[in-house]
C-alpha cells in the first residue's frame, strides 16, 4: 500500500485534503512543530480534524517535530497521550530521544521521522528504524538508485516529499541553523514552554535568510554578487513511477504554509496520478503536466510572498537588537 499524506496548515486545509483523496493529513501542534503559529493548530482544532478524519476512514499524523528541552519532555508526553487517546494514528518527530519515548508510550502509533532528522545515508535510515521509526523521510536530493538501495536493505517505510531541489547538491534539509544565528529570541508561554523566534528546530519560523542576496568578498575584492545560498525545491510528477518502483510507500504533499486552494488542487492532482500508476504498468501522466506547471507557478508566487514576510521579520528582529 502507498500512503498519500497531505498537509493541514489550517483546519480548513486539513479537511480539504482529506476530501480530495489523501489517506492521511499531518497537522502541527501550536509551538511544537517546525512552523510559526500561523500554520499550527490549537488542541480544539486538532480534535475536530481527528473526528472529521475518523468519520471518513482517514488518518491524522500529529507534527511534534521540535527539539524539546529536558523540562519540556513531560509536556511532550502529555501531548502524545492526549492526541493518541483522541484517535490520532501517528506522529512526526525529529528528536531521537522523543522518538524512542513515543514508541514506548504508544506502541501502535505510526512514527514518521521529520525532515529535522537530516538523513544523509542508508546507515542513518537503519539507525532511525532501530529507534522506532515506522517511516523515514528522505531528503530531496537522493536519487532513485539510492532510494532503491535503502528500501532493499532497511525494511523500514520510506517517505518522500513530492518536491525536490532541481540542482541536487549536499545541503541537508533539517540541519541548517543559519536562521537562529541571524536572529534569535525566546520567551516562556503560559505553560512554561519556551517560545522561540528564528529557530525552526525549537518551534519558531525559519527566517529564510538563505534566500536573501549574499556576497563573497576577499581582500576587499567582490568575488560573487547576489549569491543565493540555497535553491528552492520544485514540485515534480514524471519521476513518480520510478520512485514507487524503488519501494517508496509514503508520498508527502508539501504546503502547510501555502493557501488552502493551492494545496487542495495539488492533492487532487497527485491523487489522480497515484491512482493511475497503481492501476497500470505504463501509466500516462501527460494530461497532468500542464496543470502541474500552473501549480508550480502559483507555488513560486506564494513562496515568494512567504519568504518576503519571513525576511522582513528577520530584518525587524535585527533592527530591534541593534537598537537595544
In the chain, the percentage of residues whose pLDDT exceeds 70 is 78
User: Nearest CA to 24 among 5, 49, 52, 46?
Assistant: 5
Q: How far apart are CA 259 and CA 104, in angstroms?
A: 36
Q: How far apart are CA 121 and CA 165, in angstroms?
A: 17
Give how far the C-alpha of residue 174 lies from the chain's centroid of Cα atoms, to the nearest Å. Answer: 9
* Cell 503559529, located at residue: 37
**Residue 22 near residue 4 (C-beta atoms within 8 A):** yes
pTM reported for the whole predicted model: 0.84
Sorted by sequence, the CB contacts under 8 Å of residue 161 that are 6+ apart come out as 137, 140, 233, 252, 254
53 — pLDDT class (breaks 50, 70, 90): very high
With vertex at residue 194, the alpha carbon angle to CA 188 and CA 200, rounded to the nearest 5 degrees, is: 135
What number does CATH give the domain 3-323? Answer: 3.20.20.70
pLDDT at 176 over 70: no
* Cell 493511475, located at residue: 276
Q: How far apart are CA 44 and CA 21, in angstroms?
A: 24
With vertex at residue 133, the alpha carbon angle to CA 255 and CA 8, rounded to the nearest 5 degrees, is: 20
| pLDDT tens profile 184-195 | 566 666 666 666
3-class DSSP assignment, residue 219: coil
| pLDDT tens profile 239-296 | 999 999 999 999 999 999 999 999 999 999 999 999 999 999 999 999 999 999 999 9
Considering only residues 11 and 188, tell me which one the structure prediction assigns the higher pLDDT: 11
Task: Give the pLDDT of residue 170.
Answer: 46
| pLDDT tens profile 152-166 | 999 899 999 998 766
3-class DSSP assignment, residue 120: coil
3-class DSSP assignment, residue 218: strand
Amino acid at each position: 500500500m502507498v500512503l498519500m499524506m497531505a498537509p493541514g496548515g489550517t483546519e480548513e486545509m486539513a479537511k480539504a485534503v482529506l476530501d480530495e483523496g489523501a489517506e492521511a493529513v499531518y497537522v502541527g501542534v501550536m509551538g511544537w512543530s517546525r512552523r510559526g503559529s500561523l500554520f499550527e493548530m490549537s488542541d480544539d482544532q486538532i480534535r475536530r480534524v481527528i473526528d472529521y478524519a475518523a468519520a471518513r476512514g482517514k488518518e491524522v499524523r500529529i507534527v511534534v517535530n521540535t527539539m524539546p528541552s529536558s523540562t519540556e519532555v513531560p509536556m511532550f508526553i502529555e501531548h502524545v497521550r492526549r492526541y493518541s487517546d483522541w484517535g490520532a494514528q501517528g506522529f512526526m518527530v525529529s528528536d531521537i530521544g522523543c522518538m524512542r519515548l513515543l514508541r514506548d508510550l504508544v506502541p501502535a502509533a505510526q512514527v514518521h521521522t521529520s525532515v529535522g532528522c537530516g538523513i544523509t545515508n542508508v546507515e542513518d535510515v537503519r539507525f532511525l528504524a532501530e529507534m522506532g521509526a515506522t517511516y523515514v523521510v528522505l531528503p530531496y536530493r537522493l536519487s532513485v538508485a539510492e532510494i532503491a538501495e535503502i528500501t532493499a536493505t532497511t525494511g523500514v517505510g520510506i517517505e518522500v516529499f513530492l518536491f525536490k531541489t532541481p540542482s541536487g547538491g549536499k545541503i541537508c534539509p533539517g540541519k541548517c541553523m543559519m536562521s537562529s544565528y541571524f536572529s534569535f529570541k525566546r520567551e516562556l508561554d503560559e505553560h512554561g514552554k519556551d517560545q522561540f523566534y528564528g529557530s525552526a528546530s525549537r518551534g519558531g519560523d525559519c527566517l529564510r535568510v538563505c534566500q536573501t542576496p549574499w556576497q563573497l568578498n576577499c581582500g576587499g575584492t567582490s568575488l560573487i554578487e547576489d549569491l543565493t545560498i540555497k535553491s528552492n525545491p520544485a514540485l515534480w510528477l514524471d519521476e513518480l513511477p520510478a520512485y514507487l518502483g524503488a519501494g517508496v510507500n509514503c508520498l508527502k504533499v508539501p504546503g502547510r504554509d501555502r493557501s488552502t486552494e493551492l494545496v487542495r488542487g495539488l492533492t487532487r492532482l497527485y491523487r489522480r496520478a497515484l491512482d493511475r500508476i497503481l492501476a497500470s504498468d505504463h501509466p500516462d501522466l501527460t494530461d497532468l503536466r500542464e496543470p502541474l506547471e500552473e501549480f508550480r507557478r502559483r507555488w513560486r508566487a506564494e513562496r515568494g510572498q512567504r519568504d518576503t514576510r519571513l525576511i522582513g521579520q528577520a530584518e525587524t528582529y535585527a533592527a530591534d537588537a541593534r537598537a537595544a
